[in-house]
Amino acid sequence: MADTDAGATPGKPKLPVLEQVSAGGVAYRTGASGLEVALISVGTQARWQLPKGIVEADETPEATAVREVREETGIDTVLKDRIATIEYWYVGSKGAQRVRYHKFVHFYLLEYRSGQVSNHDREVNEARWVPLAQAKQMLTFKNEQQALEKAGVLIQQQ
């Protein structure tokens, strides 16, 4: 996909555009406080978000979602349904080159089976179970808040 004005600034060359595909999920369970979802805190700003990561060449988005939730939250889940695909643009680096990414993130509804959120990987500051109503307020990104709302509707339909 080409964006003819990608990163264009008068007098400067346009940034190359790369497509990036990730997958993740809303992992849920019924806990002590009712319906809970697993959120992760990442980065130096400790922003709260849904677990997600890059789809590897030999993976489906569904398999990536289950894998990334396991790695980033420490829990095992089973895929229940598709939630949504979100899309956005950002500027980053690929090696030493600055590029403009066109990102697609596939989110899935995942039911908790086993594991402890304390077993998350090193790239995550913290993983925790959060009551559904509180989780939306904690999420940093609006598109993830919308995915969480859709997940809440799907959970009620289960």
The tens digit of pLDDT for each residue in 38-47 reads 999 999 999 9
Residue 146: C-alpha distances to residues 60, 115, 137 (Å): 23, 27, 11
26's CB contacts (< 8 A; 6+ apart) are: 37, 50, 83, 107, 108, 109, 110, 147, 148, 151
* Domain ranges within the chain, ordered by starting residue: 17-157
Confidence category of residue 31, pLDDT binned at 50, 70, 90 = confident
Q: 97-136: per-residue pLDDT in tens?
A: 999 999 999 999 999 999 999 999 999 999 999 999 999 9
Residue 1 has pLDDT above 50, yes or no: no
Q: Phi and psi dihedrals of 125, rounded to 5?
A: -70, -45
Please report, rounded to a whole number, the percentage of residues in the chain having pLDDT higher than 70: 92
Question: Which CATH number among 3.90.79.10, 3.40.50.720, 3.40.50.300, 3.30.390.50 corresponds to the domain 17-157?
Answer: 3.90.79.10
Q: For residue 27, give the nearest of 140, 158, 151 by alpha carbon.
A: 151
Asked whether the CA dihedral 75, 79, 84, 88 is positive or negative, the reply is positive
CB neighbours of residue 119 within 10 Å: 12
Lowest mean pLDDT among 4-8, 21-25, 88-92, 99-103: 4-8
